[in-house]
Structure 1
Amino acid sequence: MAEVMPASELIEQNPAMAYLVSLGSKKSRQTMKSFLNIVARINGYASIETCPWAQLRRHHVQAVLQMLEDLGRAPATRNTYLAAIKGVMTEAWIKKQIDHDTYQQIKLIRTAKGTRLAKGKALAKEELQKLFFTCESDSSPKGLRDAAILAVLVGCGLRRSEIVALDLESIDFKEQCLKVLGKGDKERLAFMPPGPQQRVKRWIDEVRGDYPGPLFPRIRRYGDVTTERMSDQAIYYILDTRRVEAGLDEFAPHDLRRTFASAMLDNKEDIITVRDAMGHASVTTTQRYDHRGNDRLREASQRLDVG
């Protein structure tokens, strides 16, 4: 049986593993590992562990990008692949596995231009009302918990990973905000509108209690409220269950974040404020969450007197 290389030695020898370790979040590591495994397979290797990254050259990278374009991958997706490859080659250069010229040639490969229509949607007010109604119709502890989760997701624009990471201590009712730990280990304050505040307070006062631990813990089948933290996937399951009960078309949990951004922009909040509220590093990212455009274009087209 072949000996398993210790993790520290693998990171030292393999620039791809070193790059993944350098990333700030578990989700980023999972995403980039998936992309790099695809790059390794395109080049004829089983995985990132067996791919000789130091042998990669500019023409290899360009061939990978061309193949992705031929497969119809969007510019943003191709640029994510390129960012992952550049990250690996930076580690290879730091480890002196490639020379400076090779590193510069790959580093200077330009990102792809172009955009695609934004994915996802913003939920309508009527759809949100139906979701809240299904929660309010549930007399079990899950009803109040799920209503509070839904209110915080759409009222504060949190990610699934952020909401399951909340503790009771994350709430500051006096300042009307939540202390949120977001991507890149960055803390921010998410200020709660009155509705979410009331739903969270009712959940705590009537069901959860004021003991330390996860703000939204697991609830077992017969209404037993635990002290166990939920997973990201549990939020997906909760929202999908409530969606079916409300008779709504499919939507992703991230669509509630898009709903938050669109509502903020619709209220004439400036893009910088929305960016900060969502915990984005770039305004460009925030703009992709704006799903008001189709409605504005549709209304403008109806006002045209032509044809």
Structure 2
Amino acid sequence: MSDSPTTTSALKNPLALSAPPPLTEHPTAVYLSGLAPGSRPAMRQALDTIARVLTNGSCDAMTLDWTALRYKHTALVRTILMEKYAPATANKMLCAMRRVLKEALRLELIDAKDFARAVDIKSVQVCSELQGRALASKEIADLMQVCFDDPTPGGFRDAALIAILRGSGLRRREVVNLNLNDFDKSTGAMKVWGGKGGKNRTVYLPDAAISVVQDWLGIRGEESGSLLCHVNKAGCVVLRRLTPQAVLFILQKRGEQAGVGHFSAHDFRRTFISELLDSGVDISTVQRLAGHASPDLTARYDRRGEQTLRRAVQTLSIPGFRTKTERDSKN
């Protein structure tokens, strides 16, 4: 009788599972099941990559025996990821590895001391230069104008999309997941279901953005379904949900029409956070609106620039300060 693939893999590599455990006792399966659906594919891919690195391609995330990992293995993973990937990507993958090992500990599949040593690896140092940018008011105005100049349903939808991104700071996936009944026309409240980390929250649109969204709804109609949906080549509204990739295409198209330099959907989020902080809104409130896990993460989105820093210090006084003229007059 021939060996099963799992048995053969185990003979070739000591880090391979000898037999597949039940999914309820598999640390990878348990970890992935706790993630938001949108996050699972990326994290599964990261774990597959780590498994291949450790076994020379013979295992994936489900066939690797994570409970056999020790410090020598995780340190090797860190070194290889650091060489092959950008720091932020490498750290995201290392985080996934740590989380799987944490589930192994919770399932009592790995000794606490072995776990502590295995996860005792430093994150890859990230360059201090901030990624992304804040959009200037004129750039946003130009983007809105090219949408307003387009009398087709696509113009109304794209204006609503930009108004929501600019006025709420939602992530792409959160925007496309909005349904008609998640939007309150009277207050501008929008219910965000299953945001990052599976968290739900309520955000609010400014009055100007509410008006733009209502104009789109006058074209879309009141039938239940996705708030933002497809418009076909004939200019007809199709109640089919947009994808995050479609949002990128729309923004790229409108950016080229408006002559706005390269930007991403996430730059609207950076702009939203930066402007709220600049207007004096406390960071705890901004954190809640952005759906961040901590104020520290919110602070990383601050793109207010040097002018804000300069304005801030102008509020300070120097006790006993006198100008040169005043000092000369005293002598």
Shorter-chain TM-score: which interval? 0.7 to 0.9
Deviation at 1:78, TM superposition (A): 4.3
State the alpha-carbon separation in 1 of the partners of residues 67 and 198 from structure 2: 30
- What is the match of residue 40 of structure 1? 51
Change (3 A) 1:136 1:93: same
Range that drifts further, 116-125 or 84-93: 84-93
Alignment length (residue pairs): 294
Q: Could you report, residue by residue, the CA deviation over 1:4-63 in whole angstroms, capped at 9, with x for unpaired residues?
A: 99xx9663564323322222x123222322322221232123432343323211121122
Change (3 A) 1:117 1:56: same
State the alpha-carbon separation in 1 of the partners of residues 30 and 114 from structure 2: 19
- What is the match of residue 52 of structure 1? 65
- Indicate yes or no: 2:160 matched with 1:142: no
- What is the match of residue 255 of structure 2? 243
Show structure 2 runs of 5+ residues with no match: 7-19, 313-331
Q: Is the 8 A contact 1:122 1:258 kept in 2?
A: yes
Q: Could you report, residue by residue, the CA deviation over 1:206-225 in whole angstroms, capped at 9, with x for unpaired residues?
A: x1111211111111111111
Q: Is the 8 A contact 1:10 1:17 kept in 2?
A: no
Paired residues for 1:109-120 under 5 Å: 109-111=121-123, 116-120=128-132
Deviation at 1:278, TM superposition (A): 0.7
* Aligned partner letter, 2:221: G
Q: 2:133 aligns with which of 110, 115, 121?
A: 121
State the alpha-carbon separation in 2 of the partners of residues 156 and 172 from structure 1: 14
Larger radius of gyration: 2
Deviation at 1:234, TM superposition (A): 1.1
Q: Is the 8 A contact 2:82 2:124 kept in 1?
A: no
State the alpha-carbon separation in 2 of the partners of residues 67 and 92 from structure 1: 23
Deviation at 1:229, TM superposition (A): 1.2
Q: Could you report, residue by residue, the CA deviation over 1:284-307 in whole angstroms, capped at 9, with x for unpaired residues?
A: 11111111134546899xxxxxxx
Change (3 A) 1:72 1:185: closer
Deviation at 1:104, TM superposition (A): 2.9
Deviation at 1:176, TM superposition (A): 2.7
TM-score normalized by structure 1? 0.86
- What is the match of residue 29 of structure 1? 40
RMSD over equivalenced CA pairs, Å: 2.7
- What is the match of residue 78 of structure 2? 65
- What is the match of residue 199 of structure 2? 186
* Aligned partner letter, 1:192: L
- The percent of aligned pairs where both chains have the same amino acid is 36
Q: Is the 8 A contact 1:45 1:51 kept in 2?
A: no
- Indicate yes or no: 2:213 matched with 1:200: yes
Show structure 1 runs of 5+ residues with no match: 301-307
Question: SS in structure 1 opposite 2:230?
Answer: strand
Question: SS in structure 1 opposite 2:239?
Answer: strand
